[in-house]
Structure 1
Amino acid sequence: MRVGRTPSDEKAAAEPESTGESSTTFRTAWLILVACVAVSLVVAAMAALNTALPDIARATGATTGQMTWIIDGYTLVLAALLLPAGAIGDRFGRRPILMVGVIIFGLGSLAAIWVDSPTELIITRLIAGVGAAMIMPATLSLITAGVPREKRAIAISIWAGVAGAGAILGFFVTGVLLEYFHWHSVFITFAASSLLILLLTFTIGNSKDEHPGAFDIVGSLTSMTAIAAVVFGLLEAPHRGWTDPLILLCLIGGVILIGAFILIEQRRESPLLDVDLFRNRAFAAGSLSVGLQFFASFGVFYLLLLQLQLVFGYSALKSAVALFPMVIGVGVFAMIGNWVAVRFDSLRFVLATGIAIAALGVLAIGIIDADVYWKLGTMLGICAVGIGLATAPSTTAIMSNTPLENQGVGSAVNDTARELGAAIGIALAGSLLAAGYSKRIEGTADLVHSQLSAVDPAAADQAADGVRSSLAGAVEVASQLPPQGAALADQITAGATAAFMPPLQTACLVLGSVLLAGAIFLGWFAPREVIAPEDV
């Protein structure tokens, strides 16, 4: 299948001549800016609360399970609604859907400052997730439909770089706010940013499918249920265990529903998603590459934030700053990767090379003992170079092979690949880390119990359970011991760190191996051209 220059493409390409080069250039740059500001808000909100969670837990009394869903509820709703939201934008207009999404996101964020319980806070996060699902595909589809064809690759490069670095922006901004203000300031910032973006959207143009078919209700419900089930299973698996009946039901049931969705879409005249797009090797390779990038980045973020804060002793803000090599690498090499892929018809080379370099960086974290930051920062920078090279070409391949009238759905495929990749990466990294830590920590937990049981048996049980739960739990137990327990505190910290680092490195080796296998596959499967020829 080939999607070449459509009449809309010709119109977009000719627009500079009819409206004036400088005027078109300004409108193009302004559209890109507004879209990037909006997508950065959505991505930052996915990561920001990881930093604020300890303060939120203390203020609301949230349990471990509730803390998980303060974070994951947003991601679950976002992932489940992306495809229908993208299709609605194509049908009714991408700018109106962006505006509605920004309003919903802002109201959900603002409501969070008045809640009293963890359950209420989770509900506000679900509402914000609904808004985010409407914002994210609209931003990219507005760019691809509204930017002249010859500037589209650069625009997508900028969007992809911003979206890739948005999580670290969330960590950083939240860290700065928590240094000086209450955790409510995070949600106030989200709400204020939403108002600003809403005002900015009045200054950009609209686009939509002029001849939409009937809306695919059955496909929408099936896709939402399937993705929600899979994402729920992946997010909960590290906590419940992969053999938990609910996890198995969600994962197996979700995969079955994905199969049903494919069959349903193949039989509909106006499908939510034309699944035949995946027969296009550029589209399919781009989708796989996006999933692999976020599989690596969010899995590594999950592991390294724990290492930076609990092993290196960094504050939340300093940890965010320590991840800046990722921002620089992705931002710079996104532009380079897309230019090379488009200019030299080298999509296969750029995707395979980028993912392979990212794999080497992640494998290096698993092999080299990073006892000082510069070692860790160097390896993180290598990961960032690889992800940066692959990120924009992947999105360009997806959007260039999606019909112009369906850009919202194409954008949603790109974003769904991101969410699924991130969920799988976090689930795999979290499960390997938890299993390895539990296997190695028993000796330290027994030592804590034996030394404290003579003084307070109940406290001894509680302290031992805290040490067994996680490195964070062990650090908390050590910090609460009285001054005369300093020797025991040092033993707890040393034992917990020794139990934490080997599974962290094992998790990186597994993540890196998956990336390397993906790079090899992309080197065989991906076509040379960004727009795949009809015979592939």
Structure 2
Amino acid sequence: MQDTEKSPNSTPGLGPTGAWTLVITSVAGFMASLDNLVVTTALPSIRRNLGGGLSDLEWTVSAYTLTFAVLLMFGAALGDRFGRRRLFLGGLAVFTAGSAAAALASGLGFLIAARAVQGAGAAVMMPLTLTLLTAAVPAAKRGLAFGIWSGVTGLAVATGPLIGGVLTQHLSWQWIFWLNVPVGLLLLPLAFLRLAESRGTNPRLDIPGTALVSTALFGIVFGLIRGNADGWTSTPVLTGLVAGGVLLAAFVRYELRAAHPMLPMRLFRSRAFSAVNAASLLMFLGMFGSIFLISQYLQGVLGATPTEAGVRMLPWTAMPLIVAPIAGIVSDRIGGRGIVVTGLAMQGAGLAMFALIAHHTTSYTAQLPALVICGIGMALYFAPTASLVMANVAPHEQGIASGANNAMRELGGALGVAVLSTVFSSNGGYGSARTFTDGLVPALYVGAATVLLGAVCAFLIPSRRPAGPVPAPAAKVLEPVG
């Protein structure tokens, strides 16, 4: 079959290879991002079916988040070393196998292990989606392509509870994992046939640096996730946070001296690179924690079913599909800083509006303006962020930059759930609709303030209009098979 025949190239100017790459990487990114929160609304059903205590159930969420966060940068380095398409295929296969194992789990221990396998596969697959997309799409169209990719992956994060609730309510909790299997099996041959192979120009693996940063992130994320359950002053939590901080400092020191560092510290001398990563961390902190609590508010306080709660959040969660591609096109013409700043400001304002009207009797009509503003803000943030990350590093370092930015997002998400849940439990609780709202309101204000701080960080990104084509990654590129 000719590449131009029945190609998904409905987006003008991407070319057949670019269009196929956009479809494949967007779907893969959707699956990996979806599994961050898809399991949360299924936990009661899992407990009834498999038994176990609350801490056991928490690990069905934590096992994925931990492995995803700590292996992201290693996945990018492996792709540079052994071939990005090859490692993308390997990560996709591991993720698909882990999903099938989770669906077949007959006990919580097996389910937790399968979730860890899923996270490992996603950590290898996810950072390579952007480098593969950058290599395949013409420079003038990358803002559009990144906007679509970002909108799809952002939608997955936001709709995880909705999809999990619908599948659990109408089928069974196993289907939140079975969903990934046919999609993964379809993507594997498509990726093999349609993606171009490439490698980084410095393929050496930084084993000491990888070990240090992976262990450090494990300790920090473990402490953040377990803080609410075990207590922030408990020995395991303090050990994880303190040891993680010490090891992270050791990683920075080692990378400053390493001949071939996995994350060159000179990248952070760039105001643009540092600012966009700080904004990403703060955005996900405020957004993740807020979605986690608002989803429970709609169900536990206002009486919605999991499906109804997801539908009511569509003005927020579906907005990236509508706005992000348009914002990506605009960012190609005027630059991304202003769009990201506007998006973060709108997201923060929307969360503050929701906090203002949140009550145990609030109508959906009163919620709607805040949800719409949050959705537009999230879409405007997602659209140009990938372009800003890629445009401010050398071409041969784009894989590492992608891994670092994704790790910042995952850490922000883990921190957001932990911090906003702590604020919630300090001011309210699950005892009644009124006490839940008493905890929700200050938590949302903290989330809003955090996102607005992210807008300040984004404002520090140097303002400049696109100056012409950005060179493709310096790598040995082979034509796709077929």
TM-score higher than 0.5 here?
A: yes
Instruction: Give the distance between the partners of 1:234 and 1:526, measured in 2 at CA.
Output: 28
Instruction: Give the distance between the partners of 1:24 and 1:364, measured in 2 at CA.
Output: 39
Closer/same/farther in 2, CA of residues 368 and 113 from structure 1, 3 Å limit: closer
Larger Rg, first or second structure (1 or 2): 1
Report the Cα offset of residue 531 of structure 1: 7.4
The amino acid of 2:349's aligned partner reads L
Report the equivalent of 2:478: none
SS at match of 1:137: helix
Report the equivalent of 2:234: 244
Matches within 5 A, 1:228-243: 228-243=218-233
Match of 1:365 among 331, 336, 354: 354
CA contact (8 A) 1:78 1:132 kept: yes
Matches within 5 A, 1:10-159: 25-159=15-149
Instruction: Give the distance between the partners of 1:110 and 1:335, measured in 2 at CA.
Output: 33
Instruction: Give the distance between the partners of 2:65 and 2:247, measured in 1 at CA.
Output: 20
Match of 1:355 among 300, 323, 344: 344
Report the equivalent of 2:384: 393
CA contact (8 A) 2:14 2:137 kept: no
Identical positions, percent: 32
Instruction: Give the distance between the partners of 2:12 and 2:232, measured in 1 at CA.
Output: 57
CA contact (8 A) 2:332 2:466 kept: no
Report the Cα offset of residue 241 of structure 1: 2.1
Instruction: Give the distance between the partners of 1:393 and 1:530, measured in 2 at CA.
Output: 13
Report the Cα offset of residue 530 of structure 1: 6.9
1:527 maps onto 2:459 in alignment: no
Report the Cα offset of residue 164 of structure 1: 0.7
Closer/same/farther in 2, CA of residues 503 and 530 from structure 1, 3 Å limit: farther
For normalisation by structure 2, the TM-score amounts to 0.90
Report the Cα offset of residue 127 of structure 1: 0.8
Deviations 1:473-493, CA, capped at 9 Å, x for gaps: x5xxxxxxxxxxxxxxxxxxx
Greater shift after overlay, 213-222 or 509-518? 509-518
1:503 maps onto 2:433 in alignment: no
Matches within 5 A, 1:107-506: 107-209=97-199, 211-345=201-335, 347-370=336-359, 371-437=362-428, 471=430, 474=431, 496-506=432-442
Instruction: Give the distance between the partners of 2:19 and 2:329, measured in 1 at CA.
Output: 18
CA contact (8 A) 1:397 1:530 kept: no
Instruction: Give the distance between the partners of 1:406 and 1:390, measured in 2 at CA.
Output: 23
Instruction: Give the distance between the partners of 1:89 and 1:497, measured in 2 at CA.
Output: 49
CA contact (8 A) 1:158 1:335 kept: yes
The amino acid of 2:416's aligned partner reads G
CA contact (8 A) 1:31 1:204 kept: yes
Closer/same/farther in 2, CA of residues 167 and 22 from structure 1, 3 Å limit: closer
Number of aligned residues: 455
CA contact (8 A) 2:67 2:116 kept: yes
CA contact (8 A) 1:337 1:392 kept: yes
SS at match of 1:182: coil
The amino acid of 1:231's aligned partner reads V
Structure 2: which 5+ residue stretches go unaligned? 1-10, 468-482
Instruction: Give the distance between the partners of 1:387 and 1:57, measured in 2 at CA.
Output: 33
Report the Cα offset of residue 354 of structure 1: 1.9
The Cα RMSD (Å) is: 2.0
Report the Cα offset of residue 22 of structure 1: 8.4
More helix by share: 1
Report the Cα offset of residue 301 of structure 1: 0.8
CA contact (8 A) 2:140 2:332 kept: no
Deviations 1:354-404, CA, capped at 9 Å, x for gaps: 211111111112222350112223212212222221222222111112322
For normalisation by structure 1, the TM-score amounts to 0.81
Deviations 1:495-523, CA, capped at 9 Å, x for gaps: x1111101100001111122223323432
Greater shift after overlay, 210-219 or 224-233? 210-219
Deviations 1:185-220, CA, capped at 9 Å, x for gaps: 222222222212212212322333353242100000
The amino acid of 1:149's aligned partner reads A
CA contact (8 A) 2:276 2:458 kept: no
Match of 1:513 among 426, 440, 449: 449
SS at match of 1:202: helix
The amino acid of 2:341's aligned partner reads A
Instruction: Give the distance between the partners of 1:417 and 1:154, measured in 2 at CA.
Output: 23
The amino acid of 2:447's aligned partner reads L
The amino acid of 1:251's aligned partner reads L
Closer/same/farther in 2, CA of residues 390 and 263 from structure 1, 3 Å limit: same
Instruction: Give the distance between the partners of 2:389 and 2:200, measured in 1 at CA.
Output: 21
Closer/same/farther in 2, CA of residues 148 and 348 from structure 1, 3 Å limit: closer
Deviations 1:404-447, CA, capped at 9 Å, x for gaps: 2232212111211110111111111111112222xxxxxxxxxx
Instruction: Give the distance between the partners of 1:430 and 1:81, measured in 2 at CA.
Output: 26
Closer/same/farther in 2, CA of residues 403 and 58 from structure 1, 3 Å limit: same
Structure 1: which 5+ residue stretches go unaligned? 1-20, 438-469, 475-495
Report the equivalent of 2:3: none
Closer/same/farther in 2, CA of residues 198 and 342 from structure 1, 3 Å limit: same
Instruction: Give the distance between the partners of 1:115 and 1:179, measured in 2 at CA.
Output: 19
Greater shift after overlay, 316-325 or 78-87? 316-325
The amino acid of 2:433's aligned partner reads T
Greater shift after overlay, 231-240 or 73-82? 231-240
Closer/same/farther in 2, CA of residues 275 and 332 from structure 1, 3 Å limit: farther
